Structure 1
Amino acid sequence: MSFSQSGQSTNLISTLIAEPVSPSVVEPVEEAVTTEAERISDAKRLENAMKSIQELQNLASEYGIADIFQDNGGKTLQLLILLGLRISPGREGNDAIDAEGKEYELKTINIALNRSGGVTSHHHLNEIILEKYRRVEAWYIGLYEGITLKEIYKLTPEMLEPKLKEWEEKVKLKNDPLNNPKIPLKLVKKGQLVYSYSKYSNPK
């Protein structure tokens, strides 16, 4: 897959979409952190930013994303646009479809938070979900540093089959679904690199 100027059209998305902050790393606020004048100024800045966010939401709605603030909505939108996909109707199965109706799994990971971690799969992974994973055309996995998309890798179900088989055996052994088993980043990077921030942000 090739991209023309796609890498140059993501500034609005990468500027607006931020990772949620875990409550465990936030200290309770015991007193106001801004003056009244500062809060008024910030409220005006927020109002202006929300106008741009509404434009982003309007775009996201065209791709089947109802709320860019939920479930990595903004990052998913970025992948959909770059890859020429749309959200699958209902999103009960696989994440996205192309113009021919082929299905794809979309995943994102913020490697700035955990460079040795892995890509989450499904919070209730069972044999039915595993079979859906095997039937997709491909998996696209976006690697982010904070809010900046760095790379997108394409992996076929055949490449993931050893991991899928491992999960399947665990499900059968436990007779219970697995909770978000991870795809190692080392495996992800064996896939086809279809987007690189360095390439598209610094065209020759």
Structure 2
Amino acid sequence: MELGLQLQSHASAHRIHNVFDDGGYKELLLLELFNLSKAGDRAGNDALDVHGREYEIKTVARISARGERKRSLSVTTEHTLTLENIERYRKVHLWIIAVFEQSTPEVIYEISPARLERDYFSKWEERLLKQIESHREGGARPHLNNPKIPLSYVERWGVEVWRSDGDSQMELPVQVRTGLEEAQNLPG
């Protein structure tokens, strides 16, 4: 229990108020590795860097809730994705996507919103606009139910900034800086 209390104390300093719920540990790890701070608004983007740029952080679980290794992986978005969510996604500096095998990071990618625009954001927006056109007064607010981005897309178009070598020690600064520079220079 002492380890849990120490971890929660450290997480609280990063504004993660329950490190054991809703991916708190994984988020804490990524905030630390990328020298980011947690953004304050639950409905907004996830993190900020020292320059005030916003980041979307996504974690992908390699192992299912039943303890089985998943055959294919994808990045989840929002339970109820709206036009407002898409606009917010477009404005972030980068997406940071980390694949975890239980509590251990396996690989971390960065991908620019420009790389997600054509194949995801604009298509989601088109689907939502069609819903809005046919939306009746008093019905549910038009939204998409958690559209996903295949991890294979991120692997192809993103920048891998870190991969586990089996060592529990994580040294990231050089790879992260290089990855950030590469991701910023990727053509849209």
C-alpha separation in 2, matches of 1:102 and 1:200 = 31
Confirm or deny that 1:149 pairs with 2:105. Answer: yes
State the partner residue of 2:147. Answer: 181
Q: Show the 5 A alignment for 1:1-204.
A: 50-113=1-64, 114-162=70-118, 163-175=120-132, 176-190=142-156, 191-198=158-165, 201=168
Aligned positions, number: 154
CA contact 2:60–2:73 (8 Å) conserved in 1: no
SS of match in other structure, 1:79: helix
* Cα offset, 1:117, TM superposition: 3.3
- Normalising to structure 1: TM-score of the pair? 0.71
Unaligned runs of 5+ in 1: 1-49
Structure 2: stretches of 5+ with no match in the other structure: 65-69, 133-141, 171-188
Distance 1:193 1:119 in 2: 15
SS of the aligned residue for 2:6 comes to helix
TM-score normalised by structure 2 residue count: 0.77
Relative to structure 1, the CA distance from residue 199 to residue 154 in structure 2 (aligned partners, 3 Å threshold; closer, same or farther) is farther
Percent identity, aligned pairs only, is 40
CA RMSD across the alignment: 1.7
Q: Radius of gyration: which is bigger?
A: 1
